Amino acid sequence: MTTLSPYSVDTLYRGDTPRISAREREYVLAVLDSQFRTSAGSSFTKQLEDLFARTFESKYAIAFTNGTATMHAALAAAGIGPGDEVIVPPLTMASTSFAVLHAGALPVFADIDSDSWTLSPASVEERITPRTRAILPVSIFGLAPDMDGLVDIASRHKLFLLEDDAQCFLGKYKGRVIGSIGDASSFSFQSSKHMTCGEGGMITTNDEQLATAIRRMNSLGYAAVGAAAGKGKITRETIQDPLYERHSSVGYNYRMSELCAAVALAQLERLPELVALRGLSARILNDAITSSCSEWLKPQAIPGGVTHSWWSYVLKLDRRDVSWYDFRDRFRAAGGDGIYAAWRLTYLEPALRGGKFAAHQTQSFDKGLCPMAESVQPKLLQFKTNYTDMQRVENQARILRQTIESF
């Protein structure tokens, strides 16, 4: 049985945890050696789905080509489409809202919490209309939102709750692993994520009927596919029958390739150490903030009972005489690796701004829609945590202290 690998902090500090290891290379070579024979099946995809489901405390895990297709397929499988609304946060990658549009539904933006920057349940409640069918919260920067509040709202209003956990691997919420709480959860294996295969994604759920519908959305609507791991392809026996009715529904070709699955499996087996690396990087950077006694750089607030997974370490710059660009430029000039900005709020992107997507659109996608998100977004400084050399992180922390003191 495939299992997760142990790790030690000493190993992390020695720099013995490369992003891509010999294990990934070994698994990729095994796929290549198979010559992509159909008879070889989807061995790595099945192992990946099996281990992912166990790791994220779910009955089913379904591998996808990316973490946008995951959300699109889950929404479509839940019956969400034209005329429906899905409540989303504005402070995140636009893919979250785009997936709603891909399903033919309309994103409705709710505001964020002032300190954790996650989707606010109170704002969600205010945005519910008779057309609301789902809530799609994001574990932003690696921190889960108020899942108790969102589960309660979803339950009372009979809404589909789909977690976007692309940035949160092995995060916890009151003792439960993130990815096991909503009706379904979406993960991304894009190159910046805790684990990667270049591009890829996964959906988890405990609902067999939903898992089967998602698998069919993932696999061209094939009648023979099912919820269980490895059920993403039809068998040779069925495909060779001239009278076989292959397609029970219209689906998409969102299946993960065996090459990507091989890399993703190796990464998943190493996930505790990969997540621990980010946590250690975040702790070192946070120590720099604590030691500098800065009151104008505020880390993301972590509520009690929630474990952050540190996709990135983020600070809110709260000083009127220092601009985001001032801080970024001085940090970089001192030898810092650079600072990422938070995404422009999705409804203010040119693709959505001010536009009408449906006759029933009640929100105007313009400034003023989510005041808290609009206030917070321009002030956020995102620092990398995906280091494999802790000495380099220590150097970045020193430069961060030096930059703070220079103001």
Of 193, 316, 379, 384, catalytic = 193
Spatial distance between the Cα atoms of 86 and 192, rounded to a whole number of angstroms: 26
Closest residue by Cα to residue 202 from 160, 259, 264: 264
* CB distance 140 to 166 below 8 Å: no
Spatial distance between the Cα atoms of 342 and 353, rounded to a whole number of angstroms: 18
* CB distance 164 to 71 below 8 Å: yes
* CB distance 172 to 148 below 8 Å: no
User: Which residue's structure tokens are 């789902």?
Assistant: 134
* CB distance 92 to 164 below 8 Å: yes
* CB distance 166 to 178 below 8 Å: no
Structure tokens at 314: 């983020």
Spatial distance between the Cα atoms of 150 and 337, rounded to a whole number of angstroms: 37
Spatial distance between the Cα atoms of 173 and 319, rounded to a whole number of angstroms: 32
Strand-pair partners of 128? none
CA 279 to chain centre: 17
- In the residue annotation, 231 being an active-site residue is answered as no
* CB distance 374 to 89 below 8 Å: no
Q: Give the ranges where 312-356 is alpha helix by DSSP (H).
A: 324-333
CA angle 372, 376, 379 (to 5 degrees): 160
Supply the residues annotated as catalytic: 193
